[in-house]
Amino acid sequence: MNFLVLGTPFLLFMLNYDWPLSYAIKLVGAVFIFIGLTELKNEFLSADKTKRLLMPFIILNAVSAVVIFCIRSGNAFDKDILKVPLCFRLLALLFWAAATIGAVYIMKQIYHLLDADRDLLFGTVNLVKLEYTLKKIYFVTIFVYISNVFYVLLPYRQTGDFFGVLMAIGKMFLYVLIIVATVRLFGVRSDYYRKAEDSEE
């Protein structure tokens, strides 16, 4: 379960939609979680099912990172976002939607995986707190993405800048929530190992 905890902040982290690094970070998180699920497959019944969901997500982020890198290296992305061809903006936003929605969906499945076999945990307080934090992350992630879309697509710079500020504020809240979710998941991990130790005794 250590790799689940390690992979969570990488998976949920949001940088800029047009940075290859954004997709690479999520890719690293997905790989860590894949390893963590492999370790848990003998204890948690849904581990293999969740692992299968990770494969298309890993491929998507790898392809997205390469495509965005190629677009950026061709100088298609200008410092003034409105000078970037609309087709490139839409393509990048589409990739980013798949990456962000996929990440929160995977975390939702990980929660259900843990909840389905909660008898393997010493207690459920941390699990309940994790669910509460993840729900907040889902809503804030959607808020940040929608703000990002308006920022990128609106033709008036003043209006776009307003949504850019909203996006920045949303990201700050999101980063705090990601840290909290990681701490909550670490608590679940501790409950899991504590239960295992008690069973051995």
pLDDT tens digits for range 80-96 = 555 667 777 888 899 99
pLDDT tens readout for residues 144-174:
999 988 888 876 667 777 888 899 999 999 9
> Which structural domain, as residue segments, surrounds residue 117?
2-200
- Per-residue burial over 101-134, b if 16 or more Cβ lie within 10 Å, else e, is ebbbebbebbbebbbeeeeebbebebbebbbebb
Q: Within a 10 A sphere around the Cβ of 44, how many other Cβ atoms? A: 20
Its pTM stands at 0.87
Write down the pLDDT at residue 80: 52
How many domains does one find in the chain?
Answer: 1
